[in-house]
């Protein structure tokens, strides 16, 4: 990004950053210092991209997620005229979804912020100011007993309504849209509940969860509907119903009732707040090699599509107790997790079982794109947002242009480079330095401190 070439045009010389070269300048260049080999390399790289990125079949698309790890490096090596089409890419154009128009197809994925109240408002105001189309507030518990962290937003009561009103106003003032993720943590929650068995052990907190009764299920459906209604009244644009990662709604997929309870929740949410954008996040796989979950997920997605209760789908994966970093990939800072855990029981559990339940998984670009493509190939026409492993402009354009999927969700990349979207809007590459250490996630969850990038930290770590 800092390399310069001396261009001689019409007898006048000027130092020009290579990443600012436009197509005309390249064609008209009379002399580029040491540039003949560099330009030939760029052309070879572009030919390689054109040859390898098109994905005519699902199998090719799956294989491309591996190739892209190597090809993504071209983003820092090619001049900008080779990176973007002449017109703004689909990624950066306004997107009409549900009843909303988003300014682009970039979503700030839900990541636990570690703060509430005014700090939560300011966090998402900053995200909206960065230029994303939609920012998602993480882990809005539908009841106080459904929290997994004490410093977590509970979407009930006048205090929450006031925070959400301020949040909506702040995000809208920056030109963005905001959704709140609604969830109940199930057997990770303060009031531990299980959808699948009479007793479920949470090894991190060493306690038993109680199996839900029919009355519990009825109350749960009302709590989700009430939370959605409160969000709508506060001016929030949408809600994300969290049906993944081992939380309570996802547990029903492994029970005899299957998707019956999650469907009840989605219907109730739609009825309570029909004006909201309703998004559903759900697992397409629970861990490496899991093929059974995708079949259930496909049937679920087709059902919500038939009933019209959801406007957007976010395929995800992983389970907090059995594969905690499957939804993140990259580094597993286990030593820090042990040392910073909030209780002695958690420290002991992580020391004994951490390596088993949080295995290291190599990061790769767009690592949930296979699930999204499988849903599309099965007839799911609802908008699909690919989260996980979207860190570069090449990856984002590959997902939305080459594969024809509808949007991308990002978190760590935006924490590392808050101006990422602005760089892309100006046809510029991001200078983000995210090393996928996942220390940011540990800070907000295990340490219960405000979420921020370790490499850009401004507070004491």
Which residues are known to be catalytic? 247
The DSSP H or E segment spanning 4 is: strand 4-9
How far apart are alpha carbons 182 and 199 in whole angstroms? 24
Q: Positive or negative CA dihedral for 301, 305, 306, 307?
A: positive
Instruction: Name the E strands within 99-176.
Output: 100-102, 106-108, 134-141
What is the DSSP track for 340-353?
H-SSHHHHHHHHHH
CB of 7 closer than 8 Å to CB of 16:
yes
End-to-end CA gap in the chain: 30
User: Residue 222, exposed/middle/buried by CB under 10 A (0-12, 13-18, 19+)?
Assistant: middle
Residue 84, classed as helix, strand or coil, is coil
Among 4, 1, 7, residue whose Cα is nearest residue 75:
1
Number of other CB atoms surrounding residue 164 within 10 Å: 25
Among 321, 322, 304, residue whose Cα is nearest residue 313:
304
What is the DSSP track for 224-270?
HHHHHHHHHHTT--EEEEEE-BT-HHHHGGGSTTTTHHHHHHHHHHH
How far apart are alpha carbons 315 and 112 in whole angstroms? 18
Among 6, 84, 70, 86, residue whose Cα is nearest residue 38:
6
């Amino acid at each position: 990004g800092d390399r310069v070439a001396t261009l001689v045009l019409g007898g006048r010389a000027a130092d020009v950053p290579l990443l600012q070269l436009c197509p005309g300048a390249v064609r008209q260049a009379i002399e580029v210092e040491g540039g003949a080999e560099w330009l030939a390399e760029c052309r070879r790289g572009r030919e390689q991209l054109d040859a390898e990125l098109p994905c005519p079949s699902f199998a090719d698309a799956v294989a491309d997620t591996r190739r892209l790890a190597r090809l993504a490096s071209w983003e820092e090596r090619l001049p900008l005229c080779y990176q973007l089409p002449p017109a703004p890419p689909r990624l950066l154009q306004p997107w009409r979804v549900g009843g909303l128009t988003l300014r682009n197809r970039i979503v700030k994925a839900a990541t636990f912020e570690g703060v509430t109240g005014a700090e939560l408002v300011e966090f998402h105001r900053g995200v909206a100011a960065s230029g994303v189309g939609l920012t998602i507030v993480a882990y809005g518990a539908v009841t106080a007993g459904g929290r997994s962290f004490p410093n977590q937003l509970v979407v009930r009561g006048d205090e929450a309504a006031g925070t959400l009103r301020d949040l909506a106003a702040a995000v809208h003032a920056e030109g963005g849209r905001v959704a709140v993720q609604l969830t109940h943590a199930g057997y990770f929650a303060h009031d531990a509940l299980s959808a699948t068995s009479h007793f479920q052990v949470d090894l991190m907190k060493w306690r038993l969860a109680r199996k839900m009764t029919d009355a519990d299920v009825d109350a749960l459906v009302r709590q989700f509907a009430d939370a959605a209604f409160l969000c709508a009244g506060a001016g929030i644009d949408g809600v994300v119903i969290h049906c993944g990662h081992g939380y309570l709604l996802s547990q029903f997929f492994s029970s005899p009732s299957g998707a019956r309870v999650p469907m009840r929740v989605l219907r109730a949410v739609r009825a309570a707040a029909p004006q909201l954008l309703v998004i559903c996040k759900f697992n397409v796989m629970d861990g490496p090699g899991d093929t059974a979950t995708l079949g259930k997920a496909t049937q679920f997605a087709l059902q919500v599509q038939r009933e019209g209760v959801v406007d957007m789908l976010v395929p995800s994966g992983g389970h907090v107790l059995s594969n905690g970093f499957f939804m993140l990939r990259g580094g597993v800072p286990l030593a820090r997790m042990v040392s910073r855990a909030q209780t002695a029981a958690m420290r002991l559990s992580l020391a004994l079982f951490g390596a088993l339940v949080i295995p290291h998984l190599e990061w790769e670009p767009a690592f949930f794109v296979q699930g999204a493509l499988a849903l599309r190939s099965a007839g799911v026409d609802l908008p699909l947002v690919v989260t996980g492993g979207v860190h570069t402009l090449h990856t984002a354009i590959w997902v939305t242009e080459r594969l024809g999927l509808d949007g991308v969700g990002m978190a760590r990349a935006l924490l590392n480079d808050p101006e990422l979207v602005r760089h892309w809007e100006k046809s510029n590459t991001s200078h983000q330095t995210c090393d996928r250490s996942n220390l940011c996630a540990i800070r907000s969850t295990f340490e219960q401190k405000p979420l921020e990038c370790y490499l850009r930290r401004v507070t004491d770590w």
